[in-house]
Amino acid sequence: MKYEDLLELAKNRRSIRRFKPDPIPNEYIDKIIEVAHWAPSGFNQQPWEFVVIKKPELKKQISDYCKEQLLLGHKMNAAIDPTLKVPDSIHAMETEGGNFSVAPVFILLLGDHRSIQLMPSSHQYGTEYLNNTFNAGLTCSFLYMQLAATTLGLASQWLSAVQAPYVSFMVKELLGIPKYLNIYDMMALGFPAAQPKPRTIRNVVKMLHHDYCGPGAFRSDADVLEYIQQTRGVVEP
C-alpha cells in the first residue's frame, strides 16, 4: 500500500449515522473480523472477542438501551453548559431513518480481562498502567474494524454508549455475555443512506512539537474551549 492510499483511507473513515436496511454479505463481515484480529496488542494478549448481532429484536433492544444513555448524557451536558447544541448522534436517533437500529449488523468488541496475566509485574502492580495497555490493544482492533469497513464501501458508527455501566449490564444480560468479558465498544454497520457533514480538523502544525516543549507550546484553556464550541456548533470555525 502506498502512503497516499493510507492517508485517503484515514480521511474517508467517518462515523455515519444513517443506514440502508439492505443486508451485508457475510463475507464482508468475515473480512472485517479477519483484519481486526491482526491488530497489535501489548505482550500479544489478543484479548478480543467479537459478537455479530443481526436479529432485529436484539438490535432494537440494544438501540433502546443506547438511546436512554445518550439522552441522559445530553441532560448532564446541558446542566453544565446549556449553550451547547444537542450532539448530532441524538439528532440522528430522533430523526426518521436516523436510528442506527436500521443498520443490518452490529458488531460488539469484547475484551477478556483475564488476558492481563500475560503482562509483567511492572504492569500487574500499576492499575492504570495495566488498564491502559489492555485497552490500547482493543482500541487498535476496533480501529482496524472501522478502516476495513471503509474499504468495503460500508458505513459504520462508533457507539461508545455501550460502555456505560447501565448499557453494558443490560446488553450482557440480553446476549448472555459472561461477567468477566468487558464490552469495549460497538459498531453499527451497513450501507450508507447519507453522507456526513465535513468535520472540524485541527491544524497539524499547531499540534506538532519537537524535543523540549514548555507549556506555552500547547493549547491554552481558552483554545480548548473554543475548539469544543466549534465542534458543537456554538461558534463558527
For the chain, which residues make up each domain, given as ranges? Answer: 3-197, 200-237
Residue 95 confidence (pLDDT) above 50: no
pLDDT at position 96 is 41
pLDDT at position 97 is 41
Q: What is the CATH number of domain 3-197?
A: 3.40.109.10
Q: Which value, to the nearest 10 degrees, does the dihedral of the CA atoms of residues 106, 107, 113, 114 take?
A: 120
pLDDT at position 39 is 96
Between 51 and 134, residue with greater pLDDT = 51
Helix 165-175 to helix 56-80 angle, to the nearest 10 degrees? 170
Confidence band, pLDDT 50/70/90 cuts, at residue 65? very high
C-alpha cell at 146: 472501522
pTM: 0.87
pLDDT at position 71 is 82
Mean pLDDT (whole number) for 15-37? 94
Residue 224 confidence (pLDDT) above 50: yes
